[in-house]
């Protein structure tokens, strides 16, 4: 399997090269040249435990890694790493819906599923090739701690994680800044997540700087992130088929940067038994507006109870748009330039109000989020975090046929957002021993101005020291 850029200005790459490049050197995102059809394998795949299913899916895309090596990488990522062993992503009924719990990893976020694998991939490739890697990451909350956990203490790797100062939850911040390993560097940017992401892309697009200082990426601009996430869509669909007897299921995905739901889209294209993807956003509704109008138009970032989704520019949207315009890098580049120049782009709808029949989309506000948390707990004695609650709110809005089996893709353990849980339920319910233990830990973080050069200077200074 080879990889090409959505902008079309680099030569096709092998998987390991795509992992190490992260963001395409031409400013685009790397995508596979073709999407394999696995419809004839589903019956066999449905019987596999998670690590074996992950091997079958990922081996189709990581064709330059020897199969025994890849199997070992996957086993080290998923066996004994999640507290839900032998399952990585168990499913829990919540009324007439089903929640896929993706928060059983070391940082209690769905990001662990991909970043445990990505950390092992980095270490494996560096051991083969030599050299060092300096990861530059932007986080709206959970990517940072999961990425840090995936690479802390690893040889040849430094990680620089930018978060918007004061705009992640206090627990999310402490999960990152309490990791004091010598190769971990936290940066608080005076701005929004979109500013952090802009700085990351600015540095990655400076090819001289990127190559001189061996920059890499763990954000979902890295194809391996999206690839790893496709696996749990297969597993979730298989489980829900067994539970309900349905031929296909629907998946509802809260999303801000479009990476998680894009993984579901790739799984569908491969043949996973999923009939529809429901996209759920918070007040920052650029994605839901697009799928209901064909217009992708940014705006001001609204700060909400679901801060990991407080995003206006979704980096993975470019991958979807590339496929939507027929894998045409020229057309894609023109649209992205239009967005850069005007803050807006538009494509034709398949029918009035429908950009893509695969997707349905809706948005929520904070009052809806609190109501969804409260209603789910009162009805089922089951707590969900504010991001998962966005999905429950959208799918429960009355616009969807509730007889269709629905898999609600969760985001994080509710203990990471105790204030929202208490606000919704009136009770102090959201706890986890690992979260509670953070209160007494020392922290380290560098405040830096909202400026790419200031961040670049800090990276260079740190590397040289």
Active site residues: 111
Which residues are registered as beta bridge partners of 99? 92, 408
Q: How far apart (Å, rounded) are the C-alpha atoms in residues 137 and 128? A: 24
Query: Do the Cβ atoms of 322 and 332 come closer than 8 Å?
Result: yes
CB 183 within 8 A of CB 158: yes
| Angstrom distance (rounded) from CA 5 to CA 336 | 14
Number of H helices, E strands in the chain: 19, 15
What's the CA gap between 308 and 167, in Å, rounded? 9
Cβ-based neighbour number of residue 83 at 10 Å:
11
User: How many other β-carbons are positioned within 10 Å of the β-carbon of residue 247?
Assistant: 9
Residue 273 and residue 249: Cα distance in Å, rounded? 7
Backbone angles phi, psi at 452, to 5 degrees: -55, -40
Going by C-alpha positions, the residue among 5, 40, 19 that lies closest to residue 336 is 5
Distance CA 8, CA 328 (A): 8
Say which residue the tokens 């936290």 belong to: 186
Contact 90, 104 (CB under 8 A): yes
Please answer whether residues 103 and 89 qualify as being in contact, where contact means their C-beta atoms are separated by less than 8 angstroms: no
């Amino acid at each position: 399997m080879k990889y090409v850029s959505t902008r079309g200005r680099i030569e096709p790459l092998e998987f390991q090269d795509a992992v190490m490049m992260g963001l395409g050197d031409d400013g685009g995102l790397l995508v596979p040249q073709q999407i394999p059809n696995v419809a004839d394998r589903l019956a066999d795949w449905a019987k596999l435990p998670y690590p074996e299913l992950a091997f079958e899916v990922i081996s189709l895309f990581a064709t330059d890694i020897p199969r025994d090596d890849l199997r070992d990488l996957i086993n080290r990522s998923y066996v004994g790493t999640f507290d839900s062993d032998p399952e990585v992503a168990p499913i829990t009924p919540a009324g007439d819906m089903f929640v896929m719990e993706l928060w059983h990893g070391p940082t209690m976020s769905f990001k662990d599923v991909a970043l445990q694998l990505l950390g092992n991939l980095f270490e494996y490739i560096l051991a083969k090739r030599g050299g060092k890697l300096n990861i530059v990451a932007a986080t709206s909350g959970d990517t940072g701690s999961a990425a840090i956990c995936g690479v802390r203490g690893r040889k040849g790797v430094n990680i620089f994680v930018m978060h918007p100062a004061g705009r992640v939850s206090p627990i999310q911040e402490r999960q990152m800044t309490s990791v004091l390993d010598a190769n971990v560097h936290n940066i608080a940017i005076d701005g929004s997540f979109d500013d952090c992401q802009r700085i990351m892309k600015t540095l990655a697009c400076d090819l001289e700087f990127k190559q001189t200082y061996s920059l890499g990426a763990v954000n979902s601009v890295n194809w391996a992130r999206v690839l790893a996430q496709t696996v749990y869509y297969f597993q979730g669909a298989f489980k829900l088929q067994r539970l309900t007897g349905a031929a296909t299921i629907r998946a509802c995905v809260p999303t801000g940067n479009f990476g998680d739901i894009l993984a579901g889209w790739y799984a569908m294209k491969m043949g996973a038994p999923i009939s529809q993807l429901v996209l759920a956003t918070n007040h920052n509704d650029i994605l839901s507006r697009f799928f209901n109008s064909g217009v992708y138009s940014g705006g001001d970032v609204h700060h909400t109870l679901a801060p990991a989704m407080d995003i206006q520019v979704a980096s993975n949207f470019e991958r979807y748009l590339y496929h939507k315009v027929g894998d045409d890098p020229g057309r894609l580049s023109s649209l992205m330039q239009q967005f850069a120049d005007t803050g807006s782009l538009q494509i034709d709808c398949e029918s009035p109000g429908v950009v893509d029949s695969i997707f349905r989309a809706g948005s929520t506000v904070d009052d809806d989020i609190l109501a969804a948390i409260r209603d789910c707990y009162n009805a089922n004695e089951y707590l969900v975090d504010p991001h998962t609650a966005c999905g429950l709110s959208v799918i429960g809005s009355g616009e969807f046929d509730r007889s269709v089996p629905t898999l609600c893709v969760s985001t994080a353990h509710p203990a990471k957002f105790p204030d929202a849980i208490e606000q919704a339920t009136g009770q102090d319910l959201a706890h986890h021993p690992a979260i509670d233990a953070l209160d007494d830990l020392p922290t380290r973080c560098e405040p830096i101005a909202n400026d790419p050069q200031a961040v670049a200077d800090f990276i260079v200074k740190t590397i040289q020291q």
